[in-house]
Structure 1
């Protein structure tokens, strides 16, 4: 009964404060065969479904970012989630026998509001820094997710003296490209990483062929090691703003060893960059 009173009070408050704004809710599909995972930008404090044929579970004792949704056949309903910081998320939920998506990474921009109204004159002051922190937190969680996946983009590998540099996967999400990179040390010596640079090379046409290189600073680096021990394999992720390449351009990864000469250069064709997973 308390849950229904909470929903009613929230709906009345939203209708009063946002009467002139129409919010189109996204739809999430679920069934009774698989768990649909929802990762929120802040720990979940409360989650409510409007119908008994939908079940949303989350850790009520220790607040976590993950919630799981399941559904039985029946009419569509809605899901209301409140995060620890008071941000509110609302979705239409429907039963679907076959699911094409099992994981949802919810950005803060999907919030329909906050349960604690914020004064207009303080919005800019309060929201400037958290938006950056939320983006970094999203990158971290999505990179962790990508490292656990077995999906591959193709055979992109360069070897030298027992060191192998490869691009395992390229994934497009929102406005970014995620490059999943693997460094494997099959040599008898540890490999001390000096730098791993990402750049774009352009082939110049004409009688005098040349290359122009433009270094690209990643938006975020995840799990970058300072040393790869002998017989060790390390995976890391570079996050870059989305881009596409013409046939005359290619992405380049340069791996450089500190106090050593085992340096590798891996070219990534425009075909792989323009067709990410």
Structure 2
């Protein structure tokens, strides 16, 4: 492709109201269903951006202690924010044998901090739910009004649509929901979505980009390079495309750009380009026999019955271009 208007990938991480700590790395904690793992934080836990549903993290309001249990499943991660604004990133793994049952977390292990003068509470996104603390004894629980959602968290896609260009069979038992608890909370002026949109996008992508594909054949391949659509999620006013770029060849793939277009038909020579509001984890070089899991975020856009979306992966000075077409029925099914 000659022009790529929006694929100079700039990682805008921890901007605005968030400061990163360069030396801090995510913590790794193992858990299972047989043993309760206890985590001690340096200050009171304010909010938690939760992990996948096979992990359960609980804490009491006004306390520095949280407990973790897990069911067998894929690795995940969670983000814990304390009342002093410290941000802790924790990688979670399931293990039948645990070597450590108690984790004492120090303040210098925070990966970042909120910079606001007051201890502003980062918000609960509509479909990215913050784990709610158990209320203190004799204290009435805070009343939080639920809001409408674009995704039914309990809905499971089991029936693939018909007459589609990409044969998107859906794996039975998988759902197109974010890795969050189904309960929803209302917005507030301290909502992270409003305070730091880029950071909100980044956290949402990080919590969901490793989801297993709910689709069987939603991919295209050219010369051992594969573009695969794993899922489509909708949150607030944005739509998230979860993709996997797979290099099954024996040489590097030098990414020139990944582009999204809306076309009136497959033969349309004047497509409209879609510009993302956020990109996550796209590598410039995909190593031989490796995958690159990425997320592209767009503002919600309408798609007419005669229109299709084309996802185009382009390599520098090479003919290994891959085009993945998606029609309106396909997108409507996954982005409801």
Tell whether the structures are fold-level matches, with TM greater than 0.5: yes
Question: TM-score when scaled to structure 1?
Answer: 0.58
**Radius of gyration: which is bigger?**
1
Contact 1:154 1:169 in 2 (8 A): no
**Which structure exhibits the higher relative contact order, with contacts defined as CA atoms closer than 8 Å and separated by 6 or more residues?**
2
Residue-pair matches, total: 197
Equivalence for 2:164:
none
Describe the superposition over 1:25-73 as per-residue Cα deviations: whole angstroms up to 9, x where unpaired.
Answer: xxxxxxxx95479x99993307xxxxxxxxxxxx99646879744659x
- What residue number does 2:307 align with? 249
Q: 1:188/1:247 Cα in 2 relative to 1: closer, same or farther (>3 Å)?
A: same
The answer to whether the Cα contact below 8 Å between 1:41 and 1:138 also exists between their aligned partners in 2 is: no
Gaps of 5+ in 2: 1-54, 60-76, 85-103, 114-121, 123-128, 147-152, 155-178
Shift in alpha-carbon separation, 1:155–1:106, aligned structure 2, 3 A: same
Task: Judging by fraction of residues, say which structure has more strand.
Answer: 1
User: Counterparts of 1:245 and 1:234 in 2: how far apart (Å)?
Assistant: 27
1:83-112 alpha-carbon deviations (Å, 9 max, x no partner): xxxxxxx7379xxxxx969537999x8236
Q: Does 1:269 align with 2:269?
A: no
Query: Structure 1: 5+ residue runs without aligned partners?
Result: 1-32, 47-58, 80-89, 94-98, 115-129
Q: How large is the RMSD of aligned CA atoms in angstroms?
A: 4.3
Q: Cα 1:260–1:146, aligned 2, differ >3 Å: closer, same or farther?
A: same
Shift of 1:246: 1.9
Q: Counterparts in 2 of 1:11-30, with a 5 A limit?
A: none
Q: Tell me the alpha carbon deviations over residues 117-151 of structure 1, each in whole angstroms, 9 at most, x when there is no partner.
A: xxxxxxxxxxxxx9776110010000011113225
2:231 is equivalent to residue 169 of structure 1: yes
Q: Does 1:148 align with 2:210?
A: yes
SS in 1 for 2:250: coil
Structure with more helix by fraction: 1
Cα distance between partner residues in 2 of 1:105 and 1:141: 18
Matched, 1:45 2:83: yes
Distance in 2 between residues matched to 1:226 and 1:141, nearest whole Å: 21
The aligned runs of 1:110-259 (5 Å cut-off) are 110-111=187-188, 134-150=196-212, 152-153=214-215, 155-203=217-265, 210-259=268-317
